[in-house]
Amino acid sequence: MTDSPKVLLIMGSDSDLPVMQTAGEVLQKFGIPYEMHIASAHRSPAKAMALASEAAGRGIEAIIAGAGMAAHLAGVVAAKTILPVIGVPMPGGALNGVDALYSTVQMPGGIPVATMAIGKAGAKNAGLFVVQMLALNDVRLAGALKEYRREMEDEVERKDAALQAAGREA
């Protein structure tokens, strides 16, 4: 995006890109500029810490961090910034993402990480959570978020009307 980024999306591996793109799509829908990087808490910790510690000074307002397996990325990032950090556990591995969920959600007191669901649903909600945070001080975003919710409600109503028209009971 061309505007100065407000959100940093960081992932531990390029294999996380299909999931993390979901968060980016949400931010794009709401016109929120972002940037995306690959940095591993284990394989490139200096890069991950630098991205986190320099983010606020570059105008970043929130960070979404996605990682799988041991999934320490969100915690490492949160330790190096006072910006809100949202963790997205990646699916896969021997435990299908449950290990990543536990690694992301079980932060010690004092270093919070907001943790979303495993995978694309979590990435989508991470994007929406950032929109909600930014909408606290942005009337345009607040209105767009309310319209988004109305559209979801309308979609459910359309689907129910189609079901009823087909003569089926829910």
99 annotated as a binding-site residue: no
75-83 mean pLDDT:
97
Q: What is the pLDDT of residue 70?
A: 84
Categorize the per-residue pLDDT at 168 as very low, low, confident or very high, splitting at 50, 70 and 90: low
43 annotated as a binding-site residue: yes
**CA gap 93, 140 in Å, rounded:** 41
16 annotated as a binding-site residue: yes
60-85 mean pLDDT:
96
Torsion angles phi and psi, residue 48, rounded to 5: -60, -45
**CA gap 157, 143 in Å, rounded:** 21
Question: Residue 1 pLDDT more than 50?
Answer: no
State if pTM tops 0.85.
yes
